């Protein structure tokens, strides 16, 4: 509350913009610190206790050999050394990267087109939005079953339709080359509605007068999209890209449900490997070490994006 006192005293002078912290007395500084804590602690306490704590515990586990039953045995950095030299580690990271590179452009461009279309004048807009949102709320167990059926190499609808136009459809999830593209396709289909909703919320926040002004100035549809809508939408775009990359590196459910990492490990991703190490091979230490390697990679990628956002993200 002390902050407001400082600012009311400014009223009868020139209305100075209060963007930065004004210089304050000791008491006011304490008051400000308490305000910050009041806003932050509700989230900081659960995050520290139930995410950061277990994360640090996992770092401890990564230095041990532990099958979850017998007491863990300290092995130093052996798990990391083993993982970094194993060819399988490179392979699972490569598959994960393949997934991200295929998935992100598909889901962003698709989600943007959908958000723009469903933000424009359209009959039954709310109804169509709900339909496109349906896959987002459906569980991967169901979605994977349906997609395996759609992409069945011999009886699936997709290959049947491809057959009509004279294309010999691939083996999809049964073929090592096409297993990952099958997962990408199903994932983009499922997440399209997610991206659409985030971008729609962003579009709704844009002042329509700005677009109208551009229209009056004679800007066409593409020009308005490039020079007005996309820059103003950049905070939402930034959010979608950061979240999609974080989730992309941790892709698991759909792989587990659609191919189980197969055929022959062709679609095995990092978290699938972590899961198998923990719950199938009883190698919790190695699993924790791989998690920390993944964590460092994702953290690095995210930090680069946060630093890079100054170049292209505009806030209101």
Partner 1 sequence: MDERWTARSIVLHVVIIAGAAIMFFPFLWTIITSITPGAGLTQTPALIPENPSLEAYLRLFSERPFGRQIANSLFLAVITTVVQLITSSTAAYAFSRLPFRGRGAVFAVYLATMMIPLQVLVVPLFVELKTFGLINTFLGALLPTFASAFGIFLLRQAVNQVPRELDEAAMLDGAGHFRTFFSIVLPNIRPALATLTVFAFMGSWNSFLWPLVVLRKPELQTLPVALAGLQGQYTTDWDVVMAGSVVSVLPILAIYLFAQKYVIQGVASSGIK
Task: Write out the binding residues for partner 1, residues 89-108 only, by CB under 8 A.
Answer: none
| Count of residues that interact with partner 1, criterion CB under 8 A | 107
Q: Which of 83, 95, 102, 129 binds partner 1 (CB under 8 A)?
A: 129
Tokens, residue 160: 């049947």
CB-CB contact of 99 with 248 (8 Å): yes
Q: Which of 65, 86, 171, 189 binds partner 1 (CB under 8 A)?
A: 189
Asked if 293 is part of the footprint of partner 1 (rule: CB under 8 A), the reply reads: no
Q: 175 vs 234, which CB is nearer to partner 1?
A: 234
What would you report as the CA-atom Rg of the chain, rounded to the nearest whole angstrom? 25
Q: Count the Cβ atoms, other than its own, within 10 Å of residue 282.
A: 16
**Cα–Cα–Cα angle for 301, 303, 308, rounded to 5 degrees:** 95
Q: Which of 93, 172, 173, 249 binds partner 1 (CB under 8 A)?
A: 249
| Interatomic CA distance for residues 311 and 316, integer angstroms | 15
Enumerate residues 36-75 that contact partner 1 by CB under 8 A. Answer: 36, 38-40, 42-47, 49-55, 57-58, 61, 68
In this chain, which stretch among 76-84, 90-98, 258-266, 300-308 interacts with partner 1, using CB under 8 A? Answer: 300-308
Q: Which of 85, 120, 154, 264 binds partner 1 (CB under 8 A)?
A: 120
Asked if 304 is part of the footprint of partner 1 (rule: CB under 8 A), the reply reads: no
Is 221 buried (19+), middle (13-18) or exposed (0-12) by CB count in 10 A?
Answer: exposed
Give me the least distance between CB of 7 and partner 1, in Å please. 5
Asked if 255 is part of the footprint of partner 1 (rule: CB under 8 A), the reply reads: no
First to last CA, the chain: 26
Tokens, residue 20: 């930065």
Q: Which of 159, 244, 259, 278 binds partner 1 (CB under 8 A)?
A: 278
Tokens, residue 3: 């902050």
């Amino acid at each position: 509350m002390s902050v407001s006192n400082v600012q009311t005293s400014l009223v009868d002078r020139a209305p100075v913009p209060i963007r930065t912290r004004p210089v304050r007395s000791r008491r006011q500084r304490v008051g400000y610190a308490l305000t910050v804590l009041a806003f932050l602690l509700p989230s900081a306490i659960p995050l520290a206790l139930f995410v950061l704590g277990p994360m640090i515990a996992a770092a401890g586990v990564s230095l041990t050999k532990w099958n979850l039953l017998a007491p863990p045995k300290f092995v130093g950095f052996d798990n990391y050394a083993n993982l970094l030299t194993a060819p399988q580690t490179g392979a699972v990271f490569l598959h994960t990267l393949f997934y991200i590179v295929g998935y992100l452009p598909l889901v962003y461009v698709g989600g943007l087109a959908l958000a723009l279309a469903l933000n424009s004048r359209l009959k039954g807009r709310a109804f169509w939005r709900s339909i496109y949102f349906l896959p987002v709320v459906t569980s991967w167990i169901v979605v994977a079953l349906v997609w395996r059926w759609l992409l069945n190499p011999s009886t699936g609808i997709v290959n049947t339709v491809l057959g009509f136009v004279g294309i010999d459809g691939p083996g999809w999830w049964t073929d090592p080359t096409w297993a990952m593209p099958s997962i990408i396709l199903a994932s983009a289909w499922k997440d399209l509605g997610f991206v659409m909703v985030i971008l729609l919320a962003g579009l709704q926040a844009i002042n329509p007068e700005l677009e109208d002004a551009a229209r009056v100035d004679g800007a066409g549809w593409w020009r308005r999209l490039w020079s007005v809508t996309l820059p103003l939408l950049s905070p939402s775009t930034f959010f979608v890209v950061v979240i999609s990359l974080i989730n992309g590196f941790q892709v698991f459910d759909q792989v587990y449900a659609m191919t189980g990492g197969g055929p022959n490990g062709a679609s095995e991703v990092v978290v699938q490997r972590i899961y198998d190490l923990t719950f199938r091979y009883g190698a919790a230490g190695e699993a924790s070490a791989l998690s920390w390697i993944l964590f460092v990679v994702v953290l690095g990628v995210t930090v680069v994006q946060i630093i890079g956002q100054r170049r292209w993200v505009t806030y209101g």
